[in-house]
Amino acid sequence: MKSNAFDVMGKVAWLWACSPLHKKWPLSVFAINVIPAIQTNQFALLIKDELPVAFCSWASLDLECEVKYINDVTSLYAKDWMSGERKWFIDWIAPFGHNMEL
């Protein structure tokens, strides 16, 4: 993983900790939902005044992975994120209300 990926991961972790929903989730969900998004460049990170304010990630799933994800949102492996053409939002974190900018 490139050093820039670690920078992005840190910013997303900060947003995750600021989100009333996400901060209750275990760290294992962060690893499942965030690391593959960064590795596959399937994310948007909104920076405002040099601070992270929002993060969005998506996956392109094939039918099998889509069904697996519908049944268990923690079931995706890194290889699944670019397995097909079915677009799914995986995470949307905007704890400071920057939804429209994303």
Instruction: Supply 60's token pair.
Output: 């392109």
User: Among residues 60, 51, 52, 97, which one has the least CA distance to residue 80?
Assistant: 60
Average pLDDT estimate for 82-99: 92
User: Each residue of 29-87: pLDDT tens digit?
Assistant: 999 999 999 999 999 999 999 999 999 999 999 999 999 999 999 999 999 999 999 99
The catalytic residue positions are 22, 91
Position 55 scores a pLDDT of 97
Half-sphere exposure of 20 toward its Cβ, with a 13 Å CA cutoff?
2
Position 2 scores a pLDDT of 60
Give the integer Cα–Cα distance in Å for 91 and 57.
5
Q: For residue 48, give the 3-state DSSP assignment.
A: strand
How many other CB atoms are there within 10 angstroms of residue 11's CB atom?
17
